Chain A
Amino acid sequence: MPALALGIWLQGFGAANADGLAPLTGQPGDPSRGEALLLDMQRVSCLICHRISSLDERDQGQIGPALDGVASRLDNMELRQRIVDARVFNPDTIMPPYYSVTGLVDVADLYRGRTIYDAQEVEDVVAYLLTLTEEANR
């Protein structure tokens, strides 16, 4: 019964559709924890590559697009999918997968089999990014 199995899976956590991914956990993300995570440079911060003007942080990257107003462009599912594994949209993306170990090569012992964020951390960062609307940016 593959159709039924797929149906059950789609209702579960982390279910994917063409554009996005459903929440990974039953606990809603906490935007303040997400912001704290983002400011922690030891945790592969988004700011290494992206810019968020509202944050009081001098050194921000310019590798990826600025995240100002990102919540007005992408919904929670689209944001989540990009953080979990942006290769779904572009296999050659420079963006590291934050919640996937698929296809990784020669990972250092300390990190082998582990994802950059855990599921709840993904939810926290998504919750924080959802506060970055165009209105909030004005």
Chain B
Amino acid sequence: MRRRCLSALLALAFCQPVVAEELRSGYTYMEPATQAMQDDDFLNPGFFLVDEGLRLWRQPMGPAGQSCADCHGPVEREMKGVAARYPVLDAGTGKLVNLERKIQLETARMGAEPLAYESPEILSLTTLISYQSRDMPMQPEITPQLQPFLDRGRKIYEQRRGQLNLSCPQCHVDHAGDKLRGDVISQGQVNAFPIYRLLWGEPGSRHRMFEWCMQSIRARPFERGSDEFIELELYLVQRGAGLVIEAPGVRR
């Protein structure tokens, strides 16, 4: 009896019509010239961060004089796929962490100088690590423990806010592909970060982009690295699950 109920329930779950939005990387909305810039590792202005990240990976930090590489080994092997499944629950703190926060925690544990969230060091290391997942699909593992974080992230995503009273999906779902002034609105996917953004003339993190978006609608942004932004990040990774990592991306 119990088994029959369960299978009936499962059937019901699978029979629900799923209105899947076709996932599109921001890449597909870009001008061919910008796409070409991302595609060519020599032209890609974000690529220097990979080299700089590799230098830092091997650089001793803290009183014990150890480097990331001393414990982890070669980044190409040990960090492959990591960026594709982040953010994750950090076993040590019980908190949801993204790559940036994880690197901050690890370097603090090593007794190294604290690294600011958007510092060149963090950007370099996150780019290096994300690059090891290039062309791999984003695939977070949503465990029951992660579900409340995901739910909060979704609430942040759907909350109308700011003087312009807009939620993320009002533009990035309802009007993706439409023109806002001269620009085409993308789905707001996060698979290419850290990106080199031509408008900024420098690279930036996912949270810097969230902040930029919220300032554009005249809302008070959350702090970069805040729990709220990491929850939003988790929701966006889940929403875009299946899109491949493009780091270092180039965007308008």
Contact = CB atoms under 8 A, between A and B. Distances in A.
20 contacts: A47-B181, A58-B182, A59-B181, A61-B180, A62-B179, A63-B171, A63-B175, A63-B179, A94-B170, A96-B164, A103-B165, A105-B159, A105-B165, A107-B161, A108-B218, A108-B220, A109-B220, A111-B163, A116-B163, A116-B164
Contacts of B166: 94, 96
Interface residues of B, number: 23
Given A107-B219, A108-B218, A59 B182 contact: yes
A42 to B, nearest CB: 12
Contacts, number: 72
Given A59-B181, A63-B179, A106-B219, 9 more contacts: A47-B181, A48-B180, A58-B182, A59-B183, A60-B179, A94-B174, A96-B164, A111-B163, A114-B163
A49 interface: yes
Interface residues of A, number: 26
Contacts of B183: 59
A97 interface: yes
Interface of B is mostly: loop
B152 interface: no
A44 B181 contact: no
Interface string B170-192: 11001100111111000000000
A3 interface: no
Nearest to B178: A62
A18 interface: no
A104 interface: yes
A116 B166 CA distance: 14
Interface of A is mostly: loop
Given A63-B175, A94-B174, A94-B175, A104 B181 contact: no
B147 interface: no
A102 to B, nearest CB: 10
B180 A105 contact: no
A1 interface: no
A97 B179 contact: no
Interface of B: 159-166, 170-171, 174-175, 178-183, 215, 218-221
Interface string A31-62: 00000000001001001110000000011111
Given A107-B218, A107-B220, A108-B220, A44 B164 contact: yes
Contacts of A96: 163-166
A70 B191 CA distance: 41
Nearest to B185: A63
A106 B181 contact: no
B166 to A, nearest CB: 7
Contacts of B215: 108
A114 B221 CA distance: 18
B174 to A, nearest CB: 7
Given A96-B163, A108-B162, A63 B178 contact: yes
A125 B225 CA distance: 41
Contacts of B178: 61-63
A129 to B, nearest CB: 19
B180 A104 contact: no
Q: When A and B form their complex, which 5 residue pairs have the shortest distance between CB atoms, in order from nearest?
A: A59-B182, A96-B164, A111-B163, A106-B161, A59-B181
A61 B163 contact: no
B175 to A, nearest CB: 5
Contacts of A62: 178-179
A94 B169 CA distance: 10
